[in-house]
Structure 1
Amino acid sequence: MGKLTEQEIEAKLLRFPDWEYYDNAIHAEFEFENFKDCFSAMSRIAFECEALNHHPNWSNVYNVLSISLSTHDDGGVTNKDFKLAEAIEFIVEPDEE
């Protein structure tokens, strides 16, 4: 797949305003109404991760979900990370376009 350059990553992030690039990964944090809604989104994201065979580093505290994406086999951020970020955005913010 191939690791993206920092310039390529920053250009792609223009389409993902909730995401930031640092520590060799793209990161986002999403806040939900409550724990149930957060966990529901995590479950839906898990199905996308399995379909893409790409799994995030993530954590959840009550209603906040923190996600970091990096393709470990390629040593950094790849198009695969942005494909998963796009799926995540669709799940957590389906009404926004």
Structure 2
Amino acid sequence: MMKRREATAEEIEQTLIELPQWEVKDGKLHKLYKFDSFAAALGWMVSAGVEADKMDHHPEWSNIYNRVTVNLVTHDLGNVISTWDLELARKMDKLLP
């Protein structure tokens, strides 16, 4: 796992190219996931939560029916987007059905 540090503008830009459905919104890495059902959304959240917990890096997220809103920011570095936020975004997308 990469070292936790503030991500550079170039690293963020490259990640947004790799993961085009993500964006920077209000200083956080942001994505709205849409699933076929509540059960699918919840199942994905459980899997993503396990990955986040392994990293000891936890998302700000909410779930309404088949939608999950995710915001990633690193609080202990001063509420900035970090290398771990970029890595967690990649891991979350890899878990998609």
The normalised TM-score by structure 1 is: 0.88
Residue type at the aligned position of 2:95? I
Residue matched to 2:13: 10
Match of residue 86, structure 1, among 83, 90, 93: 90
Unaligned runs of 5+ in 2: none
Secondary structure of the residue aligned to 2:95 is helix
1:2 Cα deviation after fit: 2.3
Query: Which residue identity does 2:46 align to in structure 1?
Result: S
Q: Which amino acid aligns with 2:31?
A: A
Distance 2:50 2:11 in 1: 27
Q: For residue 45 of structure 1, what is the aligned residue in structure 2?
A: 48
Residue 71 of structure 1 pairs with residue 74 of structure 2: yes
2:38 is the alignment partner of 1:35: yes
Aligned-pair Cα RMSD in Å: 1.2
Structure 1 stretches of 5 or more lacking a match?
Answer: none
- Distance in 1 (CA, whole Å) between partners of 2:52 and 2:88 is 7
Indicate conservation of the 8 Å contact 1:25/1:69, yes or no: yes
SS at match of 1:80: helix
Identity, % of aligned pairs? 32
8 Å contact from structure 1 (residues 27, 66) kept in 2: yes
Residues matched between the structures, number: 93
Q: After TM superposition, give the deviation of residue 4 of structure 1 in Å.
A: 2.2
Deviation at 1:27, TM superposition (A): 0.3
Question: What is the CA distance between 1:7 and its match in structure 2?
Answer: 4.2
